[in-house]
Amino acid sequence: MTFLRAMKYLLIFLVLAVLLSAMGTVLVSLWQTRGRTEDYTVFESRILRLEKDQFAKTLNDMTSDISYLAYTYDAYMGYFKDDGYKILENNWSVFLNGRELYYKLRLIDIQGNELIKINYSKTKGISISPPSELKNKSDRYYFDKAMSLSKNQIYISRLDLNIDGGQLSYPYQPALRLLTPVYDDAAQPAGFIVLSCDANLLMQDFVDIARASDGETFFLNRDGEWLLRTNTDETKWGYMYRGGGNNNFARQHPVVWGKMKAADEGQIVTDEGLFVFKIVPPYGVQEIDENTTLLSAEGPMYLVSFIPNNSRPGLNFREDFRGLAIDAFGSEYVFFLIAGLISALIVILGAVINKERRQLKIYTFDLLTGAYNRGPGFELLNKTYIRLLHRRHRRKSRPKLSLCFLDINGLKKINDTRGHEAGDRLITEVSEIIKSALPERSFFIRIGGDEFLLVLPDMDKKEAEELWQRIFKGFREAGRDESGHDRIAVSHGIAEFTFEQGETIDKIINLADDSMYVEKKSWHGNN
């Protein structure tokens, strides 16, 4: 074979190697696309769930607050008669001063006249409007709605900008209003309370949580209009301005919007990118408890996470063959020609290595139990603690967080006598019972072979013990073994966070562990 012929074959081989390398890159990328899309969907869905849970918690606090205000009206006006308004002003001023979430509190009679008006701002504090500044509000949209409410009903307005006299108030004030009726001694309607929430603070909760997202977060009203966009202020509240009604999510993404309207949550991949969404209550009529009903002017609202195809994360789930081919070839044709063999090896090995690294990185859950692995679980526990600690400083009230340490009794004996497969079946059964009983915002961590840690936000020690009793009942219902003992025996210990200075997560875990050990020692004494 002559030198020229050898070079010719080498050149053909290099060209084919480059083509195969580029094709391999495209095929590997397409193969990885679906897995990566699922990874991003799960992660973004968790962020939206945190935002949804935070909104629901804040709304629950607001309904509790206005119910308390209605209770104080009944108490003071019933006992103090003519002095009741002055006493109410003082009491409500103290209330409003301790709640940065609200900027205005009013009492309005059945003719629409303001009887009490208290304002709050972070810079000026509390101010009570004198009688000369009180106005008649019978022409406002919420007056007729308030007058139609029955006892123990709470009306929540749409989330929008404040309007005064038919004009948008400036500076712009996003507002959410709660209304509830009040009654005189003869049980006749006497008026209603209006509690105005500073929606900027609600939005800030979304913004804080959305910082972990790989994309942009939208908050949309029932018509697909932007209430919040984390990456820009240009379009949010645009529908409130003259001529701004066409610039909204529903018109810009009609196909996506149509699919969102047909489901409570989900993910949609389009040529634009990945959309992950969740519906946000309240909407319609909801029973808060056996005595209180919430009526909402707003239809369903939506939280949306959007990762565009042209973003760096968006390259991970592009299904456009032509686009991926262009990315693979680029413009460096000479480089590909010279480095064909090397690039082929690098692409193949790189794809395998990157896939393994990504699997290792996202290996968050224990495959046997579905619980969080120790590292990711403790990281989420730390974030949960910090979030609740910030809430305490922001709202001047102590949140609730408890831990429940669990240890499966007798697992080693089962492994030694019946084999590890039997032990694994027991662990799996225990974890399934735990998962079926855990509230939505709670989670559990597998911290050892037979040890689990339940993380229980919004639960004090007593409530955590009640949850344990439900879990324990599930264990008892699993039956007994051939020796007559409970087939599933688990020791537990519970400790509650105080959120006081000097408290650490390790300290609370150790307290729960110590409590569990006492119970486990007693179990060994009886078996």
Judge if pTM exceeds 0.75.
no
Domain ranges of the chain: 61-199, 374-526
Domain at 61-199, CATH from 3.40.1400.10, 3.40.190.10, 3.40.50.80, 3.30.450.20: 3.30.450.20
Output the CA angle 506-512-517, nearest 5 degrees: 120
Nearest to 218 by CA among 331, 305, 122, 289: 305
Percent of the chain with pLDDT over 90: 34
| Tokens 């324990």, located at residue | 472
Summary mean pLDDT of the chain: 81
Name the least confident of 345-349, 455-459, 467-471, 491-495: 345-349
> Tokens for 350?
């790189």
Residue-by-residue DSSP string for 471-506: HHHHHHTT-B-TTSSBSS-EEEEEEE----TT--HH
Residues of 84-103 as b/e, b for ≥16 C-beta within 10 angstroms?
A: bbeebbebbbebbeebebbb
d(CA 433, CA 429): 6
In this prediction, residue 321 has a pLDDT band, given cuts at 50, 70 and 90, of: very low
pLDDT value at 240 more than 60: no
pLDDT at 190 exceeding the cut of 60: yes
Chain segment 366-390, per-residue pLDDT in tens: 888 889 999 899 999 999 998 888 8
CATH fold group of domain 374-526: Alpha-Beta Plaits (3.30.70)
Residues 6+ apart with CB under 8 A from 372: 364, 365, 366, 380, 443, 444, 445, 446
Average confidence (pLDDT) over 280-308: 77
The residue ranking higher by pLDDT, 527 or 105, is 105
Residue 247 reports pLDDT greater than 60: yes
Give me the helix-helix angle, 340-361 and 3-80, nearest 10°: 20
% of the chain beyond a pLDDT of 70: 74
Q: Give residue 200's pLDDT.
A: 84
